[in-house]
Structure formats: C-alpha cells, structure tokens
Structure 1
Amino acid sequence: MTKLTYDDIFKDLVKSAYDGKLAEGIQQLKQQGDDRIEEYIHYAIGGGDPGRVVFKVKNCGNNCGCTDANGDCQVSCLMEAIERDESGNVVINGSICTDCGECVNNCQHDCLVDKKEFIPLVEVLRNRKVPVYAIIAPAFIGQFGEEVTPGKMRAALKRLGFYGMVEVALFADILTFKEALEFDAHVHREGDFVLTSMCCPMWVSMVKKVYSKLATHITPSVSPMVACGRGVKKLHQDAKVVFIGPCIAKKAEAKEPDVRDAVDVVITFKELQQIFEAMGINPKDMPEDEKEHSSTAGRIYARTGGVSKAVADTLKRIRPDKQIQIKAIQAHGVKGCRQMLQDALDGKITANFYEGMGCLGGCIGGPHVLIDPGQGTELVNSYGEEASSLTPADNKYVLTLLKSLGFDEIEDLFDEEKAKIFSRRFYDK
C-alpha cells in the first residue's frame, strides 16, 4: 500500500472537516498502520507549539543521502539553525530558528513539516456566524491558472465559506505612501539611506538578527499582510482574517508579539490548491465577483524590484521637487541579501533605498508558489499594467479607503498615534 504523504493527509482532513466528520476522518487515517501518520495528523490539524511553525516529524539518518555533509535543509537555513546529532539526524535549534520554512521546502524525505493552520478554521467557515475575510498576496495572479481572474478567485473563496476577499495590493498601496514619506524624512544628502521593511520576513530577520547594526536604517512600517489584516479588522471589528500567499515564513511573522493582532490564520497557495482539490472546487469555473481597485504600485510588490519602483514612482508624484530622489538597489535570495547587507555594513553605500527579498525573484519565487517564477513575474507585471492608476496618489479608491481608516491627509501616515496600525519598531531607541 502506498504511504500517504503529509499533503495527502491534509487534504483528507480538509474534506472530513467540511463534512462535519473530522474525528471519524482522523480515526480512519490512524488505521492505515503507518507510524508517521499520527505525527502528520497532529501538525496537519494545527497541533504543536503555538508559537512555532516548523517541526521535525522523523529522523533522516537512514534515509537522507546527505548526512555526511551539509544537506539541502542545512544549506537553505538562513539562521544556521539546522544542526546534526551524532547519528546524522537533523536537529532544529529553536532558539535561533525563524520558522521561515526553507528547510521544509528543501527536505526530500518528509522529515520536516510546516504546521497547517486551516483545519481549526473550517467550523467557523461552515457555520458563518463570524465573518472570515481572505486577504490574498499580490503574487496570487496566475497561480491558479491564467484564466483565474481576481473575481473568480473571490467567488471560489466564498464557496469555501469566506465572507469576502481583499487584495493585499490595496494596502501595499497605502504603505507605498508611508515608505515614500519615510524616505522623504530620512534621506537628505549623499550617504543617507533606508532599508525598506517590506515585504519579506526573511529579509527583516536578517537585518534584525544578523546585521543588527543596520537596524536603525530600516523603515518602521508593517508588512502589507499586517496592514491589510489590521485594516480589515478596523472596518469589521468582529472579523477573522486569513492571509493567503506563497510564503511559509508569513506563518511565523503572523505570530510575532507586536503584530499578532492582525492575522488569525496563514495558508499558502499550495495549501489553498489542496483545499480546492479536496472540496472539488475549480476556480476557473467560478462566476466573476470583481471588486478590486489597486494601483500598479501595489500589484507589483510580488516581484523583485516592485517595492522600489512603487515607492520611487510615488515619491516623484507627491514630492516632485525633492532634490534627492530614490536610487534603489535590490537583492533576492538569501545569498544576495546577505552580500548586499554586508556591503552596506562595510560602508559600501551604492544606493539610498535598499530592497531585499529572501526568495529568488521575490514573492513569486516563494516556496509554495504553483507556477514558474519567470511566468509569475510576467503575469504580475501584466496585472500591474492593467491598473487604472500608476500610483496610489492617483487612485481615488485608495484615498477613499484611507479616509475610512481615519487618515484625512496622506501626511497623517506620519502621525504617530493615527499611524500605529501601519507601524512597528525594529530596534530599541
């Protein structure tokens, strides 16, 4: 009998949960006789340390072909948190692990898994007593098929029980304003520079934990995920929020103490595809349910260089007379980000706006994307070009949203009290 994978078990449990028979489904899986299944079930239904995301479910010493040297999981680890015991088995050093999930993505033997958070939410989606909003990352375009429009995706999510869907690109637009204002306030002469805090939690972890001497240069903005979650909850106080994206690391970011109020559950594109399959839903067959009004700026956050271009275009629009405009440099992938930050630490300042993405290509290269990153970049760029406005400064929908959140003027994003929902501190003053 073919052994069930972790993903197989997750899909089975999704179907059981929607059928109102989760306990029976769990029992049937346990009868398979595979000694791994109980561990897999435990994490597939959201078990384990509530503050952690990545877990080891079995030893790999007898199965892994790379026990005599650094394995793929070790090489991929940003914080060097993967170690080996005397038998060659993986040990996760929890004190420095950031739960980014890169080791999970590179493990070839199902020894490492990332906790699934969706199953406990199913009962809430089924009874519909609490509104649950899906907020979806800008990288989603084309992930579920080129014919799956934002409207079709919204309809598919509503079929699962979500009250509505919000494109995180709308809140990326708002943060583009904030980043432009931060640049305007902090860069006045040659040698001044900022490190953008968006959007990548791996990039932020690198700055905070490895290159902490640069932390004073990081802009005090939350990620678009956090901004969107907080925005939705400010407008709909009883709502729960589920972030959908390509990144395992977002599960860890959502648990960080200063931003854990924003998002209740994080699921990845890969997990969402498995949920659709379990429930027999094909997004391309859904009717249109179109509502989004994001600008080019917010939509292109998904790919390397997108944040830089968005903020640069917006700065030109709102501060056209500023003598020093943005001169950006980007890096993607852990190796590239490390080198760029080390150069800055060594005083080799070649730009005034530094953007880093932990995955090659940016979010479109995340561990749980469904399509080739090159294709993802093309589709994100095309979607950006389709927007009716280049920057949020020309987008009446973004300006209306800001007013509904209590920001009468763009400059209010610099008001410490008003802008708390969009701000965080990365270092102690």
Structure 2
Amino acid sequence: MKSKLTYDDVFKRLVKSAYDGRLEEDINELKQQGDKTLNQYIKYATGGGEPDQIVYKVKECNGDCSCEGDNCEVSCLFGAIVRDVEGNVVIKENSCSGCGQCVEVCSHDALVDKKEFIPLVEILKDRKVPVFAIVAPAFYKQFGPNVTAGRLRAALKRLGFYGMVEVALFADILTLREALEFDAHVRTEDDFVLTSCCCPIWVGMVKRVYKDLIPHISPSVSPMVACGRGVKKLHPEAKVVFIGPCIAKKAEAKEADVKDAVDVVITFKELDQVFKAVGINPEEMDEDISEHSSTAGRIYARTAGVSKAVTDTINRIRPDKEIKIKTIQADGVKECRKMLQDALAGKVEANFYEGMGCAGGCVGGPHVLIDPGQGREYVNEYGEEAASLTPADNKFVLALLKRLGYEEIDDLLEDKQKMLTRNF
C-alpha cells in the first residue's frame, strides 16, 4: 500500500523526530512501509543525494500529470528537462542550474528540491558551534502580521541559532558598491550595466544564455554571499544559514567561487514548517531587536527596489555625475528574456538594468508565505521605517564596513578584502 504522505509531510515529521532525538528510529518506521517514492522523500528531505545537486526526480511522470498551464519542460530556462522515448521526465544534470522552476510547476511531487535543515539540527541542539541565521530582505511579516524582525530573531534563537542578521545590511553595502560600479563604467551615453546583486535566475540567464552581455554585468556577489562572508570574517568558527523565499539560492550557495559563504539554505516555507513541527509560534515571542539597515537595503525584496536603492545612493555620493542613472526593470522570467534579448540586439533603453526572475521580485518567490502584493506593501513599510534612506548616511553600515576592513566607501570598488567581487 502506497503512503499518502507528501514530501512536505515527511519533512515536517522528520524535523520533529530530529529535535526529539528519534530521527533514525522514525526513518526506519517510515521505510518499513516499503514505498519506493516515500524512501526517496526521506532521502532528500534529510539532505541526501549528490552534494551539489538540488533538484531530483522521485517518481516517474509520463506527461499525464495535472500540471496546469506551464509544465516542467517549458519552465526550465536552460533546457535541462527532456523526455525519454516513453515520455518520462529526464533531468539532464549537466544542464540543470538548480533554479527550482520545474519544482514549482510540478503538481504531484514528482520533482523535489533537496532540503538541508535536518542535518543541522544536532548542531543547533548542541550549541557548541555558533550558527547564524541570515534572512533575506523579503522576510518582513512573512511569518505573521505581527512578526517583526525582533520576534523572528527570538524564534530562531529558540530553535538553537546563535543570532540573526538581516541580509539587508549587506544589501546596503552592495548598493554602495553598485553605485561606485555605475560611476566607474557608465562614462558615455552608450554605456550600460546589468546589476548582479540579487537574483540567481537573472544572473544564470546572463551567464548561460546571453553570454555576450557578460562584460556589462556588475562583478559583485549577491547580498546573501556578502552577508555570509561578513559573518564568517567576524566569527570565523561560525556556520551560516540563509533563509529566503527562493529555491535557486540553494544552487547559488554551492557555486564554486562563492561556496565559502553559506553552509545551508532553507526557504521561508521550510522554516515555517520547522516552527510548526517543534511548536514555536514567532508571533508569541518577545522582541529581540538588533538591526540598523537603511531603506535601500530593505527594499531589495521587491521589483525596482535595487534600482531605487542604487539611484538614491549614486545621487547621494556622486551628485555631480554628468550622466545620470536611468533604470529599467524586468519583472519575471518572460520580461527578463525580452529585456536581455533587446539589449543584445542593441535596443538599449537605459544604463542600469535590473532583472527579477520572480514576478514582483523576491516577495513573489516560490516559497513565500503571503500574497506577493501584501509582501510588497510590508517591504515598503519596513523600508519607510528605516532611519536612513541610503547606506551612505547610515552610521551603523559605515561602522560595519570598518570592522570588515573597508576604511572608506571608495575602498569597496577595489575590494582588497575580496568579499564582494566575483568573476563572471
């Protein structure tokens, strides 16, 4: 008899077992059901599989599934999903970027993304190694309308985390760097840059499909990578867990040139399942406040947020620049493709290009917990609450830069610390 447990059911059950100290026993109980698919769920829900592979097929699909509208083949940006002679789905591992688009359109758990939380539980329980949670700017009120940054921090500490850092702080730092990059590279009316800050799907499209545009992409790491490296510079013994709305971040964290930054990636949906599995309600936690990001870093979570952040910052630090910034945004994969194709064809409409693989930006990511429109409103609300509009006026960001080895803002461009730069 086949189990009726879903992949998410298995994950939640095993999270509770891990915290209760009976993980191995519970796994053995589940395996006694003799269900091949269930055994696959167990494997990937507990972090099994190839170290650098994110997406797995756990049961056959011959095209008769009920995927509505889009399907896994169409959704794949890189041609990594094909069908064999019998019509079954095949993942071409060498082509798969781990973006997770196919997982989201698969309606019956035939394709799943590996979950990385359970192997971390013993470390969190033991508390001998400090484990920092770094949370994406889209987090605000995702876990309930009353869940502030302080309450989320308290809930994460209850799980066993040493502390929580908002990635928005490092989005602030990347905003300064991208503003300097724009100033350095946009010298004529024909020059333009593609931001590389946020979205791994956008960056993957440029690197894999629109390679001729690589010279225009800003050679900066994402805020996730910058934050992970920053935490490890200040706490060399620490482990870092990124928490966000995006499956593709799991793959980004494993890319060869940035894999030093983040040890584990979990999504908002997964964290919500963890909280429920162990009986933690973030809305009931006391405030644990400790953040000082600016508006710029906080609004990275929604489409046009990066553009506004960089625009406000370059106008602040380079007010006399002759060529003013002119931005354009692509909202979702379809618009990203069109914008990149137009740029490749010489139809250049702006000098700063921002692409978001998910409609609405990160607030529209596959593992958000609330409606993207509501998420955008919350992100804007949180941005408006910030004491500083730009990181150039944020004394906390400027102090953090000095702790990281950057004495002046202009040092970010040369980046002798090698924390913020990657080679595309």
TM-score, with structure 2 as normaliser: 0.98
Aligned to 1:273: 272
Residues in 2 aligned to 1:244 and 1:378: alpha-carbon distance in whole angstroms: 20
What are the equivalent positions in structure 2 for 1:182-201 lying under 5 Å apart? 182-201=181-200
Deviation at 1:52, TM superposition (A): 0.7
Aligned to 1:81: 80
Say whether 1:422 aligns with 2:420: yes
8 Å Cα contact 1:297/1:307 also seen in 2: yes
Deviation at 1:416, TM superposition (A): 4.0
Residues in 2 aligned to 1:325 and 1:235: alpha-carbon distance in whole angstroms: 37
Aligned to 2:211: 212
Residues in 2 aligned to 1:290 and 1:76: alpha-carbon distance in whole angstroms: 40
Aligned to 1:365: 364
8 Å Cα contact 2:136/2:166 also seen in 1: yes
Label 1:200 to 1:62 Cα distance change in 2 as closer, same or farther (>3 A). Answer: closer
Aligned to 1:8: 9
Residues in 2 aligned to 1:193 and 1:35: alpha-carbon distance in whole angstroms: 52
Deviation at 1:80, TM superposition (A): 2.1
SS of 1:228's equivalent in the other structure is helix
Aligned to 2:48: 47
What are the equivalent positions in structure 2 for 1:187-336 lying under 5 Å apart? 187-336=186-335
SS of 2:241's equivalent in the other structure is strand
CA distances 1:317-374 after superposition (whole Å, capped 9, x unpaired): 0000001121000002111000000000000011000000100011011110011111
SS of 1:408's equivalent in the other structure is coil
Aligned to 1:129: 128
CA distances 1:139-175 after superposition (whole Å, capped 9, x unpaired): 0012111100000000000000000000000000000
Deviation at 1:315, TM superposition (A): 0.2
SS of 1:247's equivalent in the other structure is coil
Aligned to 1:379: 378
Residues in 1 aligned to 2:66 and 2:249: alpha-carbon distance in whole angstroms: 30
8 Å Cα contact 2:302/2:361 also seen in 1: yes
Aligned to 2:24: 23
| AA at the equivalent of 1:296 | T
Deviation at 1:72, TM superposition (A): 1.3
CA distances 1:243-270 after superposition (whole Å, capped 9, x unpaired): 0000000000000000000000000000
Residues in 2 aligned to 1:207 and 1:324: alpha-carbon distance in whole angstroms: 25
Residues in 2 aligned to 1:81 and 1:302: alpha-carbon distance in whole angstroms: 28
Aligned to 1:344: 343
Deviation at 1:31, TM superposition (A): 2.6
Aligned to 2:163: 164
Deviation at 1:415, TM superposition (A): 2.3
SS of 1:422's equivalent in the other structure is coil
| AA at the equivalent of 1:372 | D
Aligned to 1:147: 146
Deviation at 1:61, TM superposition (A): 1.8
SS of 1:410's equivalent in the other structure is coil
Aligned to 1:403: 402
Residues in 1 aligned to 2:100 and 2:111: alpha-carbon distance in whole angstroms: 9
SS of 1:242's equivalent in the other structure is strand
Residues in 2 aligned to 1:62 and 1:194: alpha-carbon distance in whole angstroms: 41
Label 1:227 to 1:62 Cα distance change in 2 as closer, same or farther (>3 A). Answer: closer
CA distances 1:104-157 after superposition (whole Å, capped 9, x unpaired): 011001100000001111010000000000000000012111100000000000
Deviation at 1:179, TM superposition (A): 0.2
Aligned to 1:138: 137
Residues in 2 aligned to 1:65 and 1:384: alpha-carbon distance in whole angstroms: 40
SS of 2:230's equivalent in the other structure is helix
Deviation at 1:50, TM superposition (A): 0.5
Deviation at 1:34, TM superposition (A): 2.9
Deviation at 1:70, TM superposition (A): 9.1
- Aligned residues between the structures: 423
8 Å Cα contact 1:332/1:360 also seen in 2: yes
Residues in 1 aligned to 2:260 and 2:148: alpha-carbon distance in whole angstroms: 30
| AA at the equivalent of 1:42 | K
8 Å Cα contact 1:60/1:109 also seen in 2: no
Residues in 2 aligned to 1:105 and 1:56: alpha-carbon distance in whole angstroms: 13
Residues in 2 aligned to 1:270 and 1:28: alpha-carbon distance in whole angstroms: 26
Aligned to 2:37: 36
Deviation at 1:36, TM superposition (A): 1.2
Residues in 2 aligned to 1:32 and 1:17: alpha-carbon distance in whole angstroms: 20
CA distances 1:36-77 after superposition (whole Å, capped 9, x unpaired): 1111101011111111100000101275146xx996112211
Structure 1: where are the runs of 5+ without partners?
none
Residues in 2 aligned to 1:62 and 1:386: alpha-carbon distance in whole angstroms: 49
8 Å Cα contact 1:136/1:166 also seen in 2: yes
Deviation at 1:33, TM superposition (A): 4.0
CA distances 1:195-238 after superposition (whole Å, capped 9, x unpaired): 00010000001001100000000001000000000000000000
Residues in 2 aligned to 1:14 and 1:157: alpha-carbon distance in whole angstroms: 15
- Deviates further, 25-34 or 237-246: 25-34
| AA at the equivalent of 1:162 | F
8 Å Cα contact 2:294/2:386 also seen in 1: yes
Report percent identity of matched pairs.
72
Residues in 2 aligned to 1:415 and 1:342: alpha-carbon distance in whole angstroms: 31
Residues in 2 aligned to 1:197 and 1:50: alpha-carbon distance in whole angstroms: 25
| AA at the equivalent of 2:403 | S
8 Å Cα contact 2:3/2:33 also seen in 1: no
8 Å Cα contact 1:296/1:384 also seen in 2: yes
Residues in 1 aligned to 2:275 and 2:256: alpha-carbon distance in whole angstroms: 31
Label 1:364 to 1:62 Cα distance change in 2 as closer, same or farther (>3 A). Answer: closer
Residues in 2 aligned to 1:253 and 1:65: alpha-carbon distance in whole angstroms: 30
8 Å Cα contact 2:73/2:82 also seen in 1: yes
Residues in 1 aligned to 2:306 and 2:216: alpha-carbon distance in whole angstroms: 17
